[in-house]
Amino acid sequence: MRAAYERFIGTGELPAGIDPVVADSWRRSVRSGVDPDTPHPQVALADDDLAAYRAAHPLAAVMPVVRELVVDGAADDGLVVAVSDEVGRLLWVEGNPRLRGTVDRVGFVEGAVWREESVGTNAPGTALATRRAVQVIGAEHFSRPVQELSCAAAPIRDPATGRVLGVLDVTGRRAAATHVVLSLVRATVATVERELATRAAAAPGLPAPVDLRVLGRPALRGRSGDRALSLRHAEILLLLAEHPRGLGADELAVLLHPGELSGVTVRAEVSRLRHVAGPLLAGSRPYRLARPLRTDADDVRASLALGDVRGALAAYAPLLPRSVAPGVERLRAELSAEVRAAVLASGDPDALDAWVCGVDGADDHAAWSRLLAVAPAGSPQAVRARARVTLLDADLS
């Protein structure tokens, strides 16, 4: 396997016999520009931010089950157990102290994001990319500093919706390279999902998880269907989702209104929102969410992270387009810029065509010019692009 890996890194050739899951992951790692010698996991949350986010996550309630089934025995078996969220952020990393020191040195720490596009092939990242249980052994890892380790991981899904809530991973040396460990991971995930189903059935109020739709008509999407939201309530929930530590009334007022908005008005709006969102909102000092809230904008970013530009475009629309709240306008501009950059970098004529046919790309000179350059000569795409570039050039001059 190590010889096959070095041949792939050196020449791009894949020898016969490589696990197709690993081979596809190596290709994705190359396309993402991962450095095989220096993984760069992003530490997205630390200290108080991590503690608040972790406490509110749906998997926090089932961590006692994870600890009983795998963590308690992991310390004696030389293993480390990690649980991530749905974007690959490690929320809990527990187990053998000596191995904890080893994985710490490669950045496998709480708060770090272990996705394929930043660290290459690894069990939690590849399980998230493929939405299936995987085992990555030794030199199957794309990053050389991690190749002394083996790991097995599987996604944890919400039993009612099928949405991925996170990933359970077991990492170690030779002990983690056996089929027994992969079976243990699968069995633990099955038990965790049964526990989630039991808790959801017994929980009153708005069912969890809940998603926020902000790329169309604003709504909360729960198990019982969509619940319409006013624009103001959608703005508040979106801003709180972007600030997991919470926002004070004054901070929220600045993000909500381009002029002056009193703290009294903000408190009144949040009070009305509680009647709609119920247990989704936690305390009032500061205002924050009781659990993570995923938006359809997150779905767009997830597709971009996997290199699925067409999928991102299919899901994309301007974020709360009627909002003039400064905080929302910034988020809208950021998402548009991320999608546009991915489309231009892709060089995919169909993706470029979809972008320029949308609201954001209609007058995008660079995108029309790129489409003209990559579309087959004489094709309808090329003809439209040439006409549009000519018109935009005339307008600009």
Which range has highest mean pLDDT (12-16, 105-109, 288-292)? 105-109
Residue 396 φ then ψ, to 5° = -70, -30
Complete DSSP assignment for 280-319: GEEEETTEEESS--EEHHHHHHHHHHTT-HHHHHHH---S
Q: pLDDT for 330-363, tens place per residue?
A: 999 999 999 999 999 998 999 999 999 998 999 9
Is the pTM above the cut of 0.95? no
pLDDT of 110 reads 93
| Choice among 63-77, 84-98, 206-220, 366-380 with the minimum mean pLDDT | 206-220
214-239 in b/e form (b: 16+ CB < 10 A) is bbeebbbbbeeeeeebeebbbbbbbb
Give the CA distances from residue 49 to residues 46, 93, 243, 337, in Å, rounded to whole numbers and listed in that order. Answer: 6, 16, 9, 26
Q: pLDDT for 324-335, tens place per residue?
A: 999 999 999 999
Q: Does domain 211-294 have CATH number 1.10.10.10?
A: yes
Mean pLDDT of 169-192: 93
Q: How far apart are CA 175 and CA 77, in angstroms?
A: 7
Q: pLDDT for 200-228, tens place per residue?
A: 766 544 444 578 999 988 998 876 667 88
Mean pLDDT of 193-199: 86
Q: Where are the domains of the chain?
A: 2-202, 211-294, 296-396
pLDDT tier, 197 (very low <50, low <70, confident <90, very high otherwise): confident
Grouping H, G, I as helix, E, B as strand and the rest as coil, residue 337 is helix
Q: pLDDT for 102-115, tens place per residue?
A: 999 999 999 999 99
Q: How far apart are CA 326 and CA 116, in angstroms?
A: 33
Q: How far apart are CA 313 and CA 304, in angstroms?
A: 9
- Class of domain 2-202 as given by CATH: alpha beta
CB 360 within 8 A of CB 340: yes
pLDDT of 215 reads 93
Mean pLDDT of 6-17: 90
What is the average pLDDT value for the chain, to the nearest integer? Answer: 88
Structure tokens at 258: 């381009």
Q: How far apart are CA 35 and CA 350, in angstroms?
A: 30
Name residue 284's beta-bridge partners: 287
pLDDT tier, 27 (very low <50, low <70, confident <90, very high otherwise): very high
Structure tokens at 295: 């938006």
**Residue 289 class from Cβ within 10 Å (0-12 exposed, 13-18 middle, 19+ buried)?**
buried
